[in-house]
Structure 1
């Protein structure tokens, strides 16, 4: 395996010149696409409200504001995820991750879930990273457990939760426990009932050209992943903005008094609002009319199932996978949040 890896990616040395060449090539390959995406965001941010005022449609201005907020807060983490994904796919040894994880898939799932604590990113970053892990031979169940846990239990998210809920360490503990339990449970469910035919990784060009180095393929994969995932991020953000404008807030107040309705309501809101996992705790804390368990459900479901995530997963693994995976994850996340909330809150 190591010989095949070296043949596919011939070495050029590991000095500072190679690192500089890597950065230059990444900018050259991804610069045009990044510029186009950033230009689209700038048009939505600055020209959108101006057009809305000219047309006397405040709803359009509000739509542009929500759309821009979702894309801008997710874009840096999406770039981080594609950088990590390209590095995993091209710069790491072929069997590195299979050596680090336990040989037993049942044990690899909780280990991969706990490893999600080391990647301080949002849910957008976890999708391309999970894709690269699967390509590197990691069992899909473990990669999917990592995909779910990374945006939910990393230190940045837990610190933000403690700030949003001052003097309530049990809320931080509840979020950590419910999120990790959900990620592991979904991984085990995939291991038992999942079908690899549902998991369709995106097709890339085969890196077999002998005259191209690992650095070239790193830049090429970065360019591909960023533009590919960025398009689905924009689609998910547009869907979230449409919901925010179409559904009046007064319609939600009728559910606050019922504990049986408030939990599924906030679980649905977490899917459609697409709040970044680093910020969702502050949104949850502002929902003063809802129970602590409902707020916990909002924070557990959001990083694992939302419209932009479903769009990203559809583009990376296929729609058949995204629909099945998001549905079962939503059910497990709501169930785990209710159980943990009943126990700790």
Structure 2
């Protein structure tokens, strides 16, 4: 089942999207928003699944043409957004570039921060930034949306509460991050509004590409019309999405609609390319003492997409352009 949210009000209007991403059907009379569906998943999921099956067979009335520009992120805002760092190659490169050793506990204790979740960006919306000097970067990730997760859930238990999967552009302002980390209290200004691909999917939609609670497909990033990277999201992933959900729930319950991200998809095989600019800049720094690849400028465009084993887009496409922020008058 594929679900999305039309841009409408603060929380959107729930729509079901066909498997081939050609049609979508508003179902807000059945369930107004995706958050409401998640809150009543055991009741609503079978009803939505029935409509999804009819839509995929071409038997649903009221279907309209799929149009990503009309869609918001599947959850336009969420109760919680927790982002991990499951790809240790990325973590290791970050530390190596500043001559720091990766602590051994990182092999079994995931990194995670709590991001801002009150104002996500639509998948085709501009990325508004006040100053290019902030060091504008994209980060391609995968993420899970959970149901209610009990505190202290094991990874196996957490896996049962993964409701939906998404793609993420976790926009980062790299030049603001070092100063924030130096304060010893984590990210804030360095992590502005995040965007998600237009369609959230139930894990069964991935077929064999959903294995061990990992998405086993390449995440393609295209920067200014040229492929920047296609690392495989299931390769070199130290912690599965279930592991990350369990980590987030170690000392608290997670409520339905909590989003848990994987961190930047990163493979040790650099020939696969990269999911963020920072990673290639770190490799350049390690090799040459300084980076040569610039961060994003106003007018730069980033696209992200993942296709299934059949070549069909799974989540739709993130397609965003960086623009200068103009404050409201």
The question of a shared fold, defined as TM-score above 0.5 by the shorter chain, is answered with: no
TM-score normalised to the size of structure 2?
0.25
Q: Hey, which of these two has a bigger chunk of helix by percent?
A: 1
**TM-score after normalising by structure 1:** 0.24
Q: In terms of Rg, which structure is larger?
A: 1
